[in-house]
Amino acid sequence: MDQKKIQSIIQKIRTSSLVMGIFCLLSSVLQAAIMLQRPLGLSTPATDRTLQLAYLQHEIAAGLSMLILLLTGILCLRMSRSGRPFSVKKSTIVFVIAILTILKAIIPSVVTAMLAGKWYVSLLSMSASSSLSEGLIFLFAALIMHYGTMLQQESDETL
Amino acid sequence: MAIILRLDRVMADRKMSLNELSEKVGVSNVNLSKLKTGKVSAIRFSTLNAICLALHCQPGDILEFVEEAE
């Protein structure tokens, strides 16, 4: 294989993952700052019951989003350091991101439905949530990365 | 594995050191050492070609099949 082409692709992976990593980590910090701002009373808390539930649902989803962004940032920075997208740790991180994205679709709706006592609302909002399909896509990507890791290992052991 | 690399034997016959072979083949000492000890799962045709060219031998001189009891 053309070594120059490989090096050029690796360089592109490094640069783009560094940019993505910094962007994700900054977004994660921003998300955390927004979440911390509310309990400090800087924004107006909701008094209405329906609004409170919507607020709680949003807070749980935001917390999970922050975690997902943090993990994506770590994944991208790791990628920019090594220049190799396929490793056991990286595919595990993608798998964890997939699980968190699926949880992001399930937990907020279930918690809100439990508090409101309306299960059909939970089902409706869960099925309407794009996080569920995003999570499944990530799960699929984790499987592909796992296969890529095996191929990378085989390539490393070939002289 | 049933396939054994006999690189050390051919190198000894040709009186060639690992460093010399490394320079001629363009593979690092560490990787050649892995080849010698059989710590690799596969070898590229291009690497095999370079080794045969440097040692003036046939692939069959380097690779040997030993039947193993299952």
Nearest CA in chain B to A1: B46
B36: closest chain A residue by CA: A159
CATH number of the domain bearing residue B25: 1.10.260.40
Q: How far is A76 from chain B (nearest CA, A)?
A: 30
- Answer yes or no: do B47 and A157 touch at CB < 8 A: no
Query: Using a CB-CB distance cutoff of 8 angstroms, which residues of chain B are in contact with residue A158?
Result: 40-44
Residue B33: which domain range? 3-65
**Percent of chain B scoring above 70 in pLDDT:** 96
Residues contacting residue B34 through CB under 8 Å, at least 6 positions apart: A159, B40
Distance between CA atoms of residues B50 and B59, nearest Å: 11
- % of chain B with per-residue pLDDT over 90: 43
Please give the pLDDT value at position A59.
84
Low-confidence ranges of chain A (pLDDT < 50): 40-42
Q: Does A156 touch chain B (CB under 8 A)?
A: no
A-B C-beta contacts closer than 8 Å: 19
CA distance A93 to A74: 9
Count of structural domains, chain B: 1
Residue B39, domain member (yes or no) = yes
Task: Kindly state whether residue B11 falls inside one of the protein's structural domains.
Answer: yes
pLDDT of residue A42: 47
Q: Are A28 and A70 in contact (CB under 8 A)?
A: yes
Q: What is the pLDDT of residue B1?
A: 67
Q: What pLDDT score does A38 carry?
A: 66
Q: Which two tokens stand for residue A47?
A: 């008094």
CB atoms within 10 A of CB B11: 21
Cβ–Cβ below 8 Å for A154 and B43: no
The confidence score (pLDDT) of residue B38 equals 81
Q: Is residue B70 part of a domain?
A: no
Q: Beta partners for B65?
A: B3
